[in-house]
Amino acid sequence: MLQAFRARLAAGFVFLALGGCATIAPMSTALKDAPPPELPRKVELTGVPFYPREDYYCGPAALAMALNAAGAGVKVEQMCKQVYLPERRGSLQVEMLAAARRNGMVAYQIEPRLDHILREVAAGTPVIVLENYGYGWFPYWHYSVVVGYDLERFEFIRRSGFNERQNMPLPVFEHVWQKDGHWAMVAVPPDRLPATAIETRYSSAIVALEKTGQLKTAHTAYATMLKRWPQSLIAMMGLGNTAYALGNLEGAEAAFRRATQAHPGSAAALNNLAQTLADRGRLADALAAA
């Protein structure tokens, strides 16, 4: 019943999109006029698993698809226990992000841009998106997973509900996506970076992972981050702090020393290096560093 309701709404949005694309779907209009030349015209991630579920369980199903595509090896039932809220008959975005971290992935909320979804999919990463098929007074939220796109047909390919491969025109997608703030996320293992990662935004995602106590995973993520941003003070400090917390004082010293050399004005880097040297019994070096 809810599937049919959503299909009728989508059909109505097709009519609206065709009638006023530039008004209700400005990002789609811009993409139509100037598609990113470096992206393939068509991509489909056929290896992303599919778990059909009733609408209220779309969050756990979408999360399991994305996590297992990244190699997590989770079950939908596990995700139901972690993110499904019976009193709300659904899942909150904050819980979706937290569950991805809990299962060893870096959860990254991407920028609210259609081209960023395209770029992630082109890089091999499925994207979880939150759509709203209702109205202001009657919202109807739904999570789906974008697993492909076709710029010739100008549509996304999604895993949604009981549909393993559902095509949706980009203007229609943009309309149902924008009503909840263009929310979208990816889940990647710590040795990979999202294609659209932004330094400050991604470092915050790793910090959130670190706060769950997954220090080894966060340590790997900081090291991966430094490959793209080798001068990142946040990544150097994170690498040193996680090494220190894991008892790897040699690794912590190397990271903090790198930070002091790249950012000699950082008091935090100097203090952490001094503390690490003191803990290693090198008091003279610690005093010199402080």
| Same structural domain, 13 and 145 | yes
Report yes or no: 208 and 107 within 8 Å, Cβ to Cβ.
yes
How many Å apart are CA 201 and CA 124, to the nearest integer? 20
| Same structural domain, 174 and 71 | yes
Query: Of 132, 155, 188, at which residue does a domain stop?
Result: 188
Query: Of 153, 188, 223, at which residue does a domain stop?
Result: 188
193 falls within a domain: no
| Same structural domain, 10 and 101 | yes
Asked if the model's pLDDT at residue 150 lies above 60, the reply is yes
How many Å apart are CA 249 and CA 24, to the nearest integer? 55
| Same structural domain, 92 and 137 | yes
Asked if the model's pLDDT at residue 56 lies above 60, the reply is yes
Return the higher-pLDDT residue of 9 and 182. 182
| Same structural domain, 157 and 97 | yes
| Same structural domain, 183 and 209 | no
Tens digit of pLDDT for each residue in 216-253?
Answer: 999 999 999 999 999 999 999 999 999 999 999 999 99
Tokens 């010739």 belong to which residue?
Answer: 152
Tens digit of pLDDT for each residue in 68-94?
Answer: 999 999 999 999 999 999 888 889 999
Q: Which pair of structure tokens corresponds to residue 70?
A: 């990244």
Number of structural domains, the chain?
A: 2
Q: In terms of Cα–Cα distance, which of 39, 19, 38, 17 is closest to 28?
A: 17
Please count the helices (runs of H) and the strands (runs of E) in the chain. 13, 7
Q: Quote the DSSP letter at residue 258.
A: H
61 falls within a domain: yes
| Same structural domain, 232 and 107 | no
Return the higher-pLDDT residue of 149 and 22. 149
| Same structural domain, 126 and 244 | no
Q: Which pair of structure tokens corresponds to residue 34?
A: 């100037």
Query: Of 128, 156, 188, at which residue does a domain stop?
Result: 188
pLDDT at residue number 238: 98
| Same structural domain, 32 and 140 | yes
Domain hosting residue 207, numbered range: 199-289
CATH of the domain at 210: 1.25.40.10
Asked if the model's pLDDT at residue 138 lies above 90, the reply is no
Q: Categorize the per-residue pLDDT at 21 as very low, low, confident or very high, splitting at 50, 70 and 90.
A: low
CATH of the domain at 149: 3.90.70.10
Phi, psi of 107 (to 5 degrees): -95, 120
pLDDT at residue number 290: 72
| Same structural domain, 57 and 152 | yes
15 falls within a domain: yes
Return the higher-pLDDT residue of 158 and 53. 158
| Same structural domain, 162 and 276 | no
Report yes or no: 34 and 143 within 8 Å, Cβ to Cβ.
no
pLDDT at residue number 1: 39
Asked if the model's pLDDT at residue 13 lies above 60, the reply is no
Tens digit of pLDDT for each residue in 94-118?
Answer: 999 999 999 999 999 999 999 999 9
| Same structural domain, 16 and 116 | yes
Which stretches of 151-261 are assigned E, i.e. beta strand? 155-160, 163-169, 184-188
